[in-house]
Structure formats: C-alpha cells, structure tokens
Structure 1
C-alpha cells in the first residue's frame, strides 16, 4: 500500500515539474511568410511571445543586417542607437508589449527597406530571436488614358487610383485644373480653403475607398469652363509615379443633339442628286458619243472609196458600156469612142 502511494506521488511530482517547466519557457515567433507592401505605405512586421508574457521590463530589438531599426528597453524607446534612415519611422505597440506583442510598425516605406528583419527578445541573460522578410513594391498613379466625355449640367467622375493599391488616407492628395486647385485632401480631411472659387461645393473624393488606393474625383454640375486637363497628384508618394493627367471633354446639350441629328442625315437623296456626279456622267456620255461618231464616219468613208474603185475597174467589162477615153495627137486632144464587140 505504501509502495503504491509512493509511486503515485512520484508520478504526480514528475508531471508537475514537467508542466511547470513547459509553462515557464517562452518562445518567440515571427511571420513565416514574406510581408509585401507598396512604397510609401505603413507596414507591421509581426513578432510575438508564446505563451504571452509582459515584455515591458525587457529589451526588444529590431535589426536589418547591421542596421539598428528600433530598440525598446524597459518600455522606453532608445533613439540614440537607431540607424539614421529609420529615425521617425518606427514604433512598437506599448499596450501590446504587456501581452507579448513585439511587432514593429514601419512607415513611409522605401524600396531600400526591403530585406530580412530580426526581432530579438532579451530577458536577463536569455535572448531569443526570429526573422521576417519584407518586400517593398513600387506603386503608381493609374489614370484613364482616354478622354472623359460629359454633357453640361451632369456630374462626372475622373478615375484615378494607386496600383498596387494601399491606404492613402493619411497622405496628401491634390487635384488641379491647369494651375488652379480643384480639390485638396490632407491628413484624413479635405481643405476647401485652398480650393479655387469656381470649384467650391462641387468636388469630393471617395473617403471610404481611399484605404484601397482610390483617389478618384467627383465633379458635380459641370460647365463648358470645366473642360481641359486635370492632374491627380500625391506629393509624398516616394520612389514611384506621383501624378497622372486626365482629359475632360464637355459638350452642351444643344451640340450633342445636333451631332446626333447630323449622324442620321443621309448624304444625298433621289430628289437631290449630287451635282458633281451628274456633271461627270454628262461629260462621259458626250465623249463616248463623239468617239462613236468618228468611227462611224471613218467606216462610211472607207466603204465609199472602195465602191468607187470597184465601179471603175469592173463596169466596162461586165456591162459593155461605152466609155470616153482621151488621147493626145499632135498636141490636140482626140476623143476615141470604144465599144466592146
């Protein structure tokens, strides 16, 4: 009985020790998949402790090769050791540190930010780390290449977006017509004070869609003066195309009606034939008639000459008709009458 109790207590003690050791051991995990984000955007590089552990009194360090990206000691950022090109662009989640969230937020991405990042966690003499890859892609302002047609009095949308798409709600977006400001957006809000007077109250952006890179402009109640080239501009869009031009064509309702009517009008009708075509036909007919007349006259002349030769040669022999022949004798003309026997 005592042996059985001893064995049971030993097994319980071993299991308790194993569980205590497992629960006390903290592991660090990063994303196994590369993080892909466009240039100028803000990205979060995930890193966490498992099981959760308060990391506010430890040292959290992010590096990229030999560059110090961010250091946090005892819940305070250490700016002096940070590499210059990362200054003002990095942060940790202070509330998240209490739950073991060591993720790094990196803003205003540049193409040079691409690479392999190391997240390190140091508690006393123990240090653990993991790696995550970041790929920064190039994004461009994509606008319509074809002119946008519209009628006076209508509302029109000038399409423009960023490709690949990313959140531009924290950036500056500006639309211009020639040298005048049509619409300006900055820091999550519109700035109507800098807008040209003739566009006030007639323009808007699609705020809910800006997180997906949509920066299209809606222009209401357009007039003939609104026609021309519009420029969509993102000033702080680094390492890529920052602007795009769109042509707006405005026609009045009367012009549109006339164009449609002209498109259905026939060129000519049977009652009103084309004068040029009639003249050409008349000249052609006269020419053909002249040629036929010349040919007919030539044929008649040819037949007449041939008939004369035939009579001159054949009539004396076949019909015995007396003909007159003149001869010269001693300088006098003598008429000789000859007949066929």
Structure 2
C-alpha cells in the first residue's frame, strides 16, 4: 500500500513540475550485478556488468566503481568521468564498457590487461545514497603450454631390437669385409712364401754327395746319414768321370812335353 502511494505521488510530481524526484527514483530502482563471481586470466580484458532496474537515465547522476571498497576504479560525476578521482593503477585501463548506456542505466566496467593484483571485490554504486551491488573477480594464471622438451619420456616395456638398421648393413659389410679379406690374402702369401721353400725336393735342397763332409774314416760325419743306393751310384759315376778326365789331362800334358 505504501509503495502504491509513493508511485502516485511521483506521478503527480512529474505531472505538475515536469521533472522526476531523484530521491524517489533511487528508492524505486534497484542496482543489479548479474554475476556475483567472474573469472578471468592474466592478460585478458574483463567486463563487470551493472545496471538499474527498471531502467533509468543516470546521465545527470553520480556513479562509481570501487575496488575492495577503497580504491576508485571508475568515477562519473557532473556529466563526465573524473580521471583525478581514479586510482593510479586503473588509469588508462578502466573505463565504461562498450555495451554501456547511461541513458538506459547500464554502467558496466571494463578493465584491460588484467593482472593478479586486480583480483578482489568490485562494487557498483549509483546516486547519493550509494546503493550498490558487488562482484568478486578471480584472476587465474595462464596455463603453461607443454613443450616437447618438457614431456617426460617413460621407458618402454618392449625390448629394443639389437639388430643394426638395414640401411647400415652394406656399410658394415664393406667396412669389415674388405680389411678382413686383405689380411687373409697377405697371411696366405707369407705362409706360401716360407712354407714353399721348406717343402722343395731333396735334390734341390740336399747337398751333392761329394760335398758331404767326411770324417777321418772316409765316411760322412755323424750329423749326416749314410747315402741311399741311388746316391751311392751317382757318387761313383761322378768319381769315375773325374778320374777319366784327370787321366786324359795327364796324357795331354805328356804329349806336349
């Protein structure tokens, strides 16, 4: 009943004077913050909404936004924004939002490039009676992007293959096979060189029978074995040839004398 009387009196005042009573307007309107909690990330721009219900033109009124009920983030008075009353940390960062309309009673606050220090409670108030609503701003740190170097590599349970890559097989064969072949060839040549001489026939290596050293008895020395029958025959033939040659030379000498 009381509210109806106030509305009637307001209508009568408007009809008689052509102007509304500011005090009655403040009593009949509510300041609303749609969200009591807003979350944002460091570096972003955040908007805190505030409006009057029902709508009312606040162009000729005073309104402001306060941070933690102490610092003024935004001040509007005398039909303009007051930079001198604005806290230093909000200068050039806080302003009326793009969706704001003073004629419709919409007065959102926008804060650019927010930091962790901007976290706290923001209150929106209109008029001399300072009716207000509050919004809690939560600032989150940016999530770190996971780099390749930061990814933890867990050991695989699958046994690793010990076989060399197929692409390197030819290189391994050439690197190992060629030196091995050269070494084997050189070793074979050396063995053939020394073993070939020791395996020659007795006629090439053994001294002639007449060259065998003899002891005092006219027999080969103890270090030499007795000659075989073939060797004895060869020795006798050589001795006979030598004797005939000596006889011929002696005859020739007698004739010459």
Which TM class, normalised by the smaller chain length?
A: 0.3 to 0.5
More strand by share: 1
Q: Considering Cα pairs closer than 8 Å and 6+ residues apart, tell me whether 1 or 2 has the greater RCO.
A: 2
More helix by share: 2
Question: Which has more radius of gyration?
Answer: 2
Task: Give TM-score, length-normalised by structure 1.
Answer: 0.37
Task: Give TM-score, length-normalised by structure 2.
Answer: 0.48
